[in-house]
Chains A and B, each alone.
Chain A
Amino acid sequence: DSGVTQTPKHLITATGQRVTLRCSPRSGDLSVYWYQQSLDQGLQFLIQYYNGEERAKGNILERFSAQQFPDLHSELNLSSLELGDSALYFCASSVDVVSSSGNTIYFGEGSWLTVV
């Protein structure tokens, strides 16, 4: 158990719909990361937040958005869903951004999204 909690574990929804994935980071971790993993694209970095502020943005579509709340939990919002958005979405957390000690990033078990 990494200590990172993601809900829901599985989600099936129709094209055009909107879903929200939720992530609770490990206790004390200030950074939250979102990744998407599909069969053909591998693990793709989407976005990172640190203590409530966006820190880095990767291959995140404009239809997707995220935020980190004052209690440090994070949500990934996916809208106007397409069949190609079906994937496993991982949340991860770390104490800080990279420090001189090379801190570890801990991943949750993921949220399986199926768009039909």
Chain B
Amino acid sequence: DAKTTQPNSMESNEEEPVHLPCNHSTISGTDYIHWYRQLPSQGPEYVIHGLTSNVNNRMASLAIAEDRKSSTLILHRATLRDAAVYYCILRDYGGSQGNLIFGKGTKLSVKP
């Protein structure tokens, strides 16, 4: 499985933008980039995913580098509720399994 590298932790102030980086230098052409987050004492929650183009949804934006070897999850205005562990995961849409392989993720702390 292609691997991702994320910082162990990041801090942000409330109502400020947050940029969470992810490196995936061994990404293959059929890998989607998925982001999930896990709030304390809850199951992981889907945030966003993309293949080549930048993506926006109500939760966040995903900026994908042109060579696809890195991506950045952007939370436009962090709230206290955004404090969570964020996972960047590569998922092969050409495969027959589809299970997510989680790394250690980035623990985001949001200060009031």
Decide if A74 is an interface residue (CB 8 Å cutoff): no
Tell whether, in the assembled complex, residue B44 and residue A90 are in contact, meaning their CB atoms are under 8 Å apart. yes
- A contact residues around B103 at 8 Å (CB): 42
Whether the Cβ atoms of A104 and B46 lie closer than 8 Å is yes
Please tell me if A64 contacts chain B, counting CB pairs below 8 Å.
no
- CB pair B43–A109 under 8 Å, yes or no, is yes
Interface residues of A in 33-63 (CB under 8 A from B): 33, 35, 42-45, 48, 55-56, 58
Which residues of B sit under 8 angstroms from A35, Cβ to Cβ? 102
CA–CA, A92 and B100, complex, Å: 10
Which residues of A come within 8 Å of B, CB atoms?
Answer: 2, 4, 31, 33, 35, 42-45, 48, 55-56, 58, 90, 92, 94, 96-100, 102-110
B residues with CB within 8 A of A: 32, 34, 38, 42-46, 49, 51, 87, 91-104
Besides A92-B100, A103-B98, A106-B46, 4 more A-B contacts (Cβ < 8 Å) are A94-B98, A97-B97, A98-B95, A102-B34
21 pairs, CB–CB < 8 Å, chain A vs chain B:
A33-B100, A43-B102, A44-B102, A45-B100, A48-B99, A55-B98, A56-B97, A56-B99, A94-B98, A97-B95, A97-B97, A97-B98, A98-B32, A98-B94, A99-B93, A102-B49, A105-B46, A107-B44, A108-B43, A109-B42, A109-B43
